[in-house]
Structure 1
Amino acid sequence: MLGFFQTSSRAAGRAAPFAPPPASPRAPLQPAPHQAAALKMRRDGARRSPSSAATRGTARPGLPIPRLDARLANPRQIGELSMELYLAGWLSFEESSLLGFQPELHPEYDRTIGALTGEPAEPDRPRDFISLWQDRRAFELRHNPGDFVLHQRIERIISVLIAASSSFSAVSAAA
């Protein structure tokens, strides 16, 4: 078998032919021996780390949902809330990314999106994020009906925003 470079090819000024890397001792898609036990444990569901619970979007025991009235929140507060919900395990990373992306917080918003829409950025103006996400759900169902994963993520975001708002209103009514 030839090596990676042939001296005669280099001497003649031609490019050296490609030689495949040496064969590995195990099959290409087979996990390493130390990884096989961890993969089997995850498939069995016997042990899961707290970080895997956060990525699945399920709440970890003992961590309350952060409180914020999502019907009177501004984009800055929603960006912070999305990170708190992710860290508490209420939203997955993808759901938190969807919720936390607030274009009005970008410094070039007025030159780009604002110039196209004719509306300047108002990152401190309160708005009803629950109705905004319900409108987005209706839009996605109408224009993107086949993306079930996105629909589930939006449903999860709406339910968590409602839960955060209801816990906020319950505490503020008691005070």
Structure 2
Amino acid sequence: MRITECEQTDVALLEEHLPSRGRSSFHARRFARQLAGSSTYLIAWEDERPAGAAEVRWNGCAAAEVQRALPECPEINALHVAEPLQGRGIGTALIRHAERLAARRGVPRIGLGVAEEGNPRAAALYARLGYRPVVRYLDRWSYVDDRGEVHDVEDPCVFLAKGLAAAAR
């Protein structure tokens, strides 16, 4: 497995192997933020196919509760591993790569959100990797379905954070 930063030519492969929900391209939006300099979109590759992805949002989580509690804390967002490949260390590798990028930028910590219910495997992984709860918040996002209807979603989440050791920098 290797991890790279997303390139324009990768967006179509991501849609093929890790498809977005509905009409709007989840991957194209993340790549656009990377081009604008506000994030780094990481891809984990297995046999020249995208196996997982995660975005490091350098401006942090958009939720006001998180911004107040952890200003200037980058967020690992939209961590996703293809279902048949889960449990093989791909998510861990993406998180570790994001941590190294953040440490090189000199930030003291990095964080991520997890749904309060419904994702116990992710919560267990984050705890195992040293992430600790900081603040509850509502993750608000939307998507356009195949009929063109916009769906607004609110997920109760907990934002977790981890200090980055100076040795990792």
Which protein shows a greater Rg?
A: 1
TM > 0.5 fold call: no
Larger relative strand fraction = 2
TM-score (norm: length of structure 2): 0.24
TM-score (norm: length of structure 1): 0.24
Larger relative helix fraction = 1
